Amino acid sequence: MRMWSGKRGVRAGWSAFAVVGLLTGCGVESPATDAAEGPEQPAQAQRLEGSTYTINVYSDATVDAQSPDQNFGSTTRLTVDGEPERRAYLRFAVGTFEGRIKRATLRLYATDPSVDGPAVHATSNNWNFSTLTWNNAPAVGAKVADVGAVADDAFVEYDVTAHVRGSGTFSFVLVSSVADGVVFLSDNGAPDAQDPQLVIETEPCPAPDVYLTPPRFDTYVSEETPDQSYEHPTKLVVDGAPRREAFLSFDVPDTIAIRSARLRLFAKDGSTDGPMLYRTTPLWAGGYFNWYSRPSPVGTPLVDLGHVPNGTWTELDVSSVVTGAGEHAFALLTHSGNGVDFVGYEPGQKYFPRLIVGTGQADTCAYSGDGIGGTAESVTHFGGRGDEEPRALAAAGNGEYVVAGRFSAEGSSNPADYGTGPLPNGRGMALARYRDDGTVAWTRGILTAEQAVPESVAVSPDGGLLVAGTYMGTVDFGTGALPVAELGQNIFIAKFSAAGQPVWSRGFVVSQEGAAGTVFSVELAADAQGGLVLTGSFNGVVNFGGGTLSSGSYTPRPVPQQMGLFLARFASDGAHAWSKAIAHGDYAPTEGTAIALAADGSVLVGGRVGEGSDLGDGWIAEDGLFVARFSGTNGALQWKRMLSGARGTL
């Protein structure tokens, strides 16, 4: 295995490779060009004692508050001072490696000492050594490390392990608070032992280790039949009308060290508004119980499941309560009339409920050969005790990303916060944009009188946000109220500017002959002209602007088997271009769960289709997953591929 280091080298007439990315395992890396720095040439990093990598600096430059518009990228020294104020920026490209990082050390060679050396702070990667100035330099982030006195003609070392946790690109800025400045050697365009260095010490990854256990006990009870107990049920039913509640209990031995715990349940019959998971008292030794004798939930909900797709696994993090050995019991409760059926425990049934306990696996580690990887490049946490629920995320270019979600803070002393402070007191939809280093660019909370749930977000070519989702009742994103349906879920699409301001919004009522309709999924993709394509699944009828579309046969109480697929295209101003629906199969749903645009503008859709449905070229002979391509001009089917034998959701 090789490690690459970047030497910008422009001063000497050549430049070197940078490796960026997220680890998905260990192997030969594929270096990528940093467009901001120009074409690169590879320079192999030094590897010592089989587990230590020395990576030379990729870019560095000084900025000076006294010359705020001057670039010092061509100098061979990095000057850091508190008076006059000068800072030094450095960037390193860390490629793939075996194992996990034990220690990361930033080494700088000082040629002018200081009684108090500068501190190292994290900063954005969004800068170029040849254009960097005081006025355009990225903001100073969190402090990573600090030192005391700096000796002359010697290396000074900073422990930056807390910031460098895996592969990727890492930028630092050196900041001094004293008038006794320090001078470090800069990259001089050719490999040099006294260049700024990032030294990565690695150690082997512990083998993945989990403890998996089925429930000791699972059941459900019903308010309709309050005296009945359900022994060894094949399904766990949770519903709000009529009320049904499900219960599970697991035993965790005292022979394992618990790091994390996840409850996994398989949904036979999904829901657009899934139940809440509570702890409950594990006092079930007396056997099965009925509605009257059922255990009570303890405390506040651990998780609110939200949308639960049909035929998929749902995984719930219960690490906060499964912290030791013994019996751990849970209750699933809901007030929603759209219930959910989870698979119950039966010996030999592969979809049984299970508690998965992590017992010692590292937080960030790349594994070789066992299919487990994905080293975290960075983790950023926002929010607190408020009710924040991010629902969708999309890349926004330059390493930035946008998030769409919802929030609730109605009268709460713990308001929602997506990173810039409390959102308005109430409930509504939240939008946020984050920079590549995880800092917040902006957030926006849009109060809605009723429920609005974003399910998908994309970034248009002009930097605006395109959002799609579902809503109920009266909703106004700032461009006028959407069409109102008294009951049921409806579909919305909306555009917001690059700064989060509303541009336009459209709402589409889903109904069933005057009754409420149901929307099961909504996904969108942005096109090159600023418009969007939309897919999903619904039960009832809807009109996107080109006439009424039907999911096929439907009933006042929707069932997943009656879900049909919708597909629509809209212009950059939200105007309808075309739309179509594909009815459900004879006994199984037809759903659009993923969408993308090809280079020629045609529309790629993934999902599942029921036997008897028709994607556009005739009757489907069996249920299954599919990928299909439709014309971007009118939605006509161009081709389809059935994924024979595949299960789950695309």
Averages of pLDDT over runs of 10 residues in the chain (650 residues) are 29 26 32 36 43 88 96 92 95 81 93 93 92 95 92 94 86 94 83 87 72 90 93 91 94 85 89 90 71 92 85 86 92 90 85 84 43 46 68 89 84 73 85 87 87 93 95 91 81 95 95 78 94 94 94 61 89 97 89 94 94 92 92 96 77
How long is the chain?
A: 650
| Residue 267 tokens, joined | 């949904």
* Cα 114 versus chain centre, distance: 44
**What is the C-alpha to C-alpha distance for residues 464 and 469, in angstroms, rounded to an integer?**
17
DSSP state of 286: T
Tokens 């308001």 belong to 415
Q: In what helix (H) or strand (E) does residue 244 lie, and over which residues does it extend? A: strand 243-252
Q: How many CB atoms lie within 10 A of CB 65?
A: 13
**What is the C-alpha to C-alpha distance for residues 405 and 420, in angstroms, rounded to an integer?**
15
What is 4-203's CATH number?
Answer: 2.60.120
Sort 193 into a burial class: Cβ within 10 Å, 0-12 / 13-18 / 19+: exposed
> Is the domain 518-541+551-650 a CATH 3.40.190.10 member?
no
Q: What share of the chain is helix, strand, coil (3-state, %, to 5)?
A: 0, 50, 50
| CA proximity to 588, closest of 617, 556, 621, 557 | 621
pLDDT score for 482: 93
| CA proximity to 456, closest of 408, 517, 540, 519 | 519
Longest dimension (CA), the chain: 85
Radius of gyration of the chain (CA): 28
| Residue 431 tokens, joined | 């939008």
**What is the C-alpha to C-alpha distance for residues 164 and 180, in angstroms, rounded to an integer?**
29
DSSP state of 68: T
Going by C-beta distance under 8 Å and a sequence separation of 6 or more, which residues neighbour residue 128? Answer: 36, 37, 59
pLDDT score for 33: 33
Strands (E), 361-439: 387-397, 400-408, 427-434
pLDDT score for 439: 84
Q: Given this chain, do its domains 4-203 and 210-358 carry the same CATH topology? A: yes
Q: How many CB atoms lie within 10 A of CB 204?
A: 14
pLDDT score for 206: 64
The answer to whether 150 and 180 have CB atoms below 8 angstroms apart is no
The answer to whether 575 and 506 have CB atoms below 8 angstroms apart is no
The three-state secondary structure class of 604 is strand
Q: What is the dihedral of CA 60, 65, 71, 76, to 10 degrees?
A: -50
| CA proximity to 616, closest of 567, 577, 563 | 567
Sort 273 into a burial class: Cβ within 10 Å, 0-12 / 13-18 / 19+: buried
For 232-260, give one letter per residue: b (16+ CB within 10 A) or e: ebeebbbbbeebbbbbbbbebeeeeebbe
The answer to whether 504 and 573 have CB atoms below 8 angstroms apart is yes
The answer to whether 196 and 187 have CB atoms below 8 angstroms apart is yes
**What is the C-alpha to C-alpha distance for residues 385 and 392, in angstroms, rounded to an integer?**
21
| CA proximity to 617, closest of 626, 428, 145 | 626
The three-state secondary structure class of 560 is helix
**What is the C-alpha to C-alpha distance for residues 418 and 643, in angstroms, rounded to an integer?**
39
Query: Is the N-terminal amide bond of 242 cis, ω within 30° of 0?
Result: yes
Strands 243-252 and 168-175, by their bridges, are unpaired
106 to 54, 79, 160, 548: CA distances (angstroms): 10, 16, 7, 63
279 to 33, 238, 303, 324: CA distances (angstroms): 51, 15, 10, 14
| Residue 145 tokens, joined | 């490390």
Q: What are phi and psi of 11, to 5 degrees?
A: -65, -30
**What is the C-alpha to C-alpha distance for residues 281 and 293, in angstroms, rounded to an integer?**
12
The answer to whether 156 and 107 have CB atoms below 8 angstroms apart is yes
pLDDT score for 49: 53
For 296-328, give one letter per residue: b (16+ CB within 10 A) or e: ebeeeebbebbbbbbbeebeeebeebbeeeeeb
> Is the domain 210-358 a CATH 2.40.30 member?
no
**What is the C-alpha to C-alpha distance for residues 62 and 71, in angstroms, rounded to an integer?**
8
Q: In what helix (H) or strand (E) does residue 213 lie, and over which residues does it extend? A: strand 210-213
Strands (E), 33-179: 43-44, 46-48, 52-56, 59-64, 77-82, 85-94, 100-112, 119-123, 143-145, 154-159, 168-175
pLDDT score for 88: 97
Per-domain residue ranges of the chain: 4-203, 210-358, 380-509, 518-541+551-650
**What is the C-alpha to C-alpha distance for residues 501 and 520, in angstroms, rounded to an integer?**
28
| CA proximity to 144, closest of 185, 177, 107, 174 | 174
DSSP state of 348: T
The three-state secondary structure class of 241 is coil
* Cα 314 versus chain centre, distance: 16
- HSE-CB at 110 with a 13 A cutoff on CA atoms is 21
Strands 168-175 and 119-123, by their bridges, are antiparallel
pLDDT score for 25: 32
